[in-house]
Structures are given as structure tokens and as C-alpha cells.
């Protein structure tokens, strides 16, 4: 599919996800197609995509290449996974979707930009497939799928092979940490205290202390992690 066809499908689905009060004006650029310009104008419940310069954008979002856009369209890569992935050894980019603007922006724009992540899906409601083959490497080379991030709230899916460990250092602030074990067995280690974990169990704690999630079984450990910051610590995130 062409870029324009993909973006038009995204736009049709996104109109069902927003209300008439949501607005944003963005420019999308693909690094291997820099001679092309796409702009997205969202206003009054309408989502318009232009293959030309028609508006003054609030921000430019860089997409690593057309292949990344195809993967997002085909549900092989989530928009948040694209942002989470570990820097590539080839080009050093932190993520496949990056904002160009460097200067500080207001909280209102950050909120609207977070909502715009929902644009990168042709499905309504937005769909993310939890399959190991669609993971990216994150947080110590752990297989990860980014599910949702909004303000002080974030969700990720992790997949740990036997012997792999997901590590969170003590952060010194109260960050609520919730984990649901989808599949497999392992251990959760808080400081030096170990606890066995297994599928269909849910745990919640905070990250004032060091937390490690370790797979101990031949079967891959799959889990859903939800992180939540206090509201007063998320004002500038």
C-alpha cells in the first residue's frame, strides 16, 4: 500500500476514537522519503490527511522508514513499541517514531500528542497483537511490546526466556508497579526477598525498592506490566 492509502485508513479509524473537541496539527515525514510531505489536521471531529503543505504544524513526527509504517499498519509493531525500542547498532536511533521539536512544549500539547498515538492503527478499537515475534528490545534487551502510555500511566507486555531478568532500580519515589502473569513461572525479587510467581496471578507494589522479574522455567514467561506515577510527578511528562 502507498503511504497515502495507509494514512487515509488510519484517519478513518481515528475519527471514531476522538470527540469534536480534540484538535492537533502535525506533519509526518519518512526518513527514506524526505521529498514527500504528509500533514494531518484534526479539528471538530474530522481527520484530514494532506500529501502537501496546507497547514502550519505544531510538531513534526519522523518515521524511520516506509517499512516501519507498513509494520505498524499490519499490526506487527505498535506505535509505543516503536518509541521504546533500544537504539539500533546501525543508526543509533532510539525509536522508529520520533518528534523533531526540541524546545519545551506545554502540558496541553503533550496530552494531545499522547492521544494522537491512537492514530497509528487502522482498527477501531485500536488493536495490538501480543506475539513474541512482534516484540522490540527494551530495558536490558528484554522482548517488549508497548501497549499504552498516557500522562502518568503506562502499560507494556514483556516476554522473558529462561534465565532472563527484567530489572527496575529503586527510583526513590512512589511509582505504582502492577504485574499480571499471563503465562509461565518465575520469581519476583524485591531487594533480596524472593517470591515465586506463576500464570494467572496479579501482584502490585511500588518501586521505592529494587524490583527484578526473573524467568525460571523452560516455558517463556509472559506478563503485563502497568506503571503509574503520582499525579504531582507527571505534570511535565
Predicted model pTM: 0.83
Q: Quick one: pLDDT at residue 19?
A: 95
Whether residue 91 is predicted with pLDDT greater than 70 in this model: the reply is no
3-state helix, strand, coil in the chain (%, to 5): 20, 35, 40
Of the chain, the percentage scoring pLDDT greater than 90 comes to 57
Tell me the CB-side half-sphere exposure of residue 85, using CA atoms within 13 A. 20
Q: Is residue 92 scored above 60 in pLDDT?
A: no
Q: How many CB atoms lie within 10 A of CB 225?
A: 19
More confident residue, 107 or 18: 18
What is the rounded CA–CA span in Å between residue 59 and residue 76? 26
Q: How confident is the model over 42-83, as pLDDT tens digits?
A: 999 999 999 999 999 999 998 888 998 999 999 999 988 888
182-to-56, 76, 157, 161, 173 alpha-carbon distances in Å: 45, 20, 10, 14, 28
Instruction: Give the whole-angstrom CA distance, residue 47 versus residue 221.
Output: 40
**Rounded CA separation 231/105 (Å):** 18
Banded model confidence at residue 160, pLDDT cuts 50, 70, 90 = very high
- Higher pLDDT residue, 231 or 209? 209
**Residues 201-220: pLDDT tens digits?**
999 887 777 889 999 989 99
pLDDT score at 20: 93
pLDDT of 151 above 80 = no
pLDDT of residue 164: 93
Give the mean pLDDT of the chain: 86
Ordered domains of the chain (ranges, CATH): 3-119 (3.30.1050.10), 132-233 (2.60.120.10)
Q: CA 197 to CA 225: how far, in whole Å?
A: 14
**pLDDT above 70: residue 107:** yes
Q: How confident is the model at residue 232 (pLDDT cuts 50, 70, 90)?
A: low
Binned at pLDDT 50, 70 and 90, residue 228 comes out as confident
pLDDT of residue 86: 59
Among 150, 161, 158, 194, which residue's Cα sits nearest to residue 178? Answer: 158
Amino acid at each position: 500500500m502507498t503511504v497515502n492509502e495507509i494514512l487515509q485508513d488510519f484517519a478513518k479509524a481515528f475519527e471514531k476514537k476522538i470527540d469534536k473537541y480534540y484538535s492537533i496539527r502535525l506533519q509526518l515525514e519518512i526518513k527514506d522519503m524526505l521529498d514527500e510531505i504528509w500533514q494531518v489536521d484534526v479539528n471538530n471531529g474530522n481527520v484530514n490527511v494532506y500529501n502537501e503543505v496546507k497547514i502550519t504544524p505544531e510538531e513534526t513526527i519522523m518515521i524511520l522508514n516506509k517499512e516501519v509504517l507498513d509494520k505498524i499498519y499490519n499490526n506487527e509493531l505498535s506505535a509505543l513499541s516503536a518509541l521504546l525500542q533500544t537504539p539500533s547498532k546501525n543508526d543509533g536511533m532510539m525509536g522508529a517514531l520520533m518528534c523533531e521539536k526540541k524546545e519545551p512544549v506545554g502540558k496541553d500539547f503533550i496530552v494531545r500528542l499522547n492521544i494522537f498515538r491512537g492514530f497509528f492503527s487502522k482498527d477501531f478499537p485500536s488493536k495490538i497483537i501480543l506475539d513474541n515475534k512482534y516484540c522490540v528490545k527494551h530495558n536490558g534487551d528484554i522482548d517488549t511490546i508497548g501497549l499504552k502510555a498516557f500522562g502518568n500511566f503506562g502499560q507494556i507486555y514483556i516476554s522473558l526466556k529462561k534465565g532472563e531478568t527484567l530489572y527496575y532500580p529503586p527510583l526513590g519515589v512512589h511509582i505504582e508497579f502492577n504485574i499480571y502473569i499471563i503465562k509461565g513461572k518465575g520469581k519476583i525479587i524485591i531487594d533480596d526477598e524472593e517470591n515465586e510467581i506463576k500464570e494467572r496471578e496479579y501482584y502490585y507494589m511500588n518501586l521505592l525498592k529494587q524490583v527484578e522479574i526473573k524467568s525460571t522455567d523452560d516455558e517463556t514467561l509472559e506478563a503485563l506490566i502497568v506503571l503509574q506515577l503520582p499525579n504531582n510527578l507527571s505534570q511535565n511528562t
